Every structure is written in C-alpha cells, then in structure tokens.
Amino acid sequence: MGVIKIDRDKCKGCELCVHFCPKGCIAMEDGYNHKGYRPSYFAKENECTGCAICARMCPDVAIEVWR
C-alpha cells in the first residue's frame, strides 16, 4: 500500500510518471496548472504499492512517496 503526492504546480506534464507506473495509477488532468501545463494526478489510490518509480522518473522532483 502506497501513497503519492504530486505537486500540481511543479509538474510540467511530461507524462513519464504515467508511462512508467507499473500499476497505471497516474493519469493526466484535463485542466492546466499555473505554468500552463496539464499536470498528472494520482488516479487509482487503492492500487499504488509505493514503489516510487514515478518519483524517480519525474524530472522535476514533483512527486513524494510514502509506503
């Protein structure tokens, strides 16, 4: 069981976290953040294992992970 927190305003919408999450827990928002990017969000909270792959792949250090 894991929890991630994505800093909505640090995210640049590169989608690497969405692509690499082994459980498909992350998705892209329809709205825009203050930088003008579509940020990602934690979509499937129950399936996260806290593996932290999303955080390691994130270029902008926008994700924190708890397990």
Partner 1 sequence: MEKVFERTKGLTDTEFGYCPGCHHSVLHRMVAETLEELDILDKTVGVCPVGCAVFMYEYMSCDIIEAAHGRAPAVATGVKRVIPDRIVFSYQGDGDLASIGTAEIVHAAARGENISVIFINNTTYGMTGGQMAPTTLINQKTTTCPTGRNPAVNGYPIRVCEMLATLDGPSYIERVCPTSPAGFAKTKKAIRHAFENQIAGKGFSLVEVLSNCPTHLRMTPIETYRRIDEEMTKVFPPGVFLDR
Q: Which residues bind partner 1 (CB under 8 A)?
A: 2-3, 10, 12-16, 19-20, 37, 50, 52-53, 55-57, 59-61, 63-67
Residue 9 in tokens: 């305003």
CB of 23 to partner 1, least distance (A): 13
CB of 51 to partner 1, least distance (A): 9
Measured from the CB of residue 14, what is the shortest distance to partner 1 in angstroms? 3
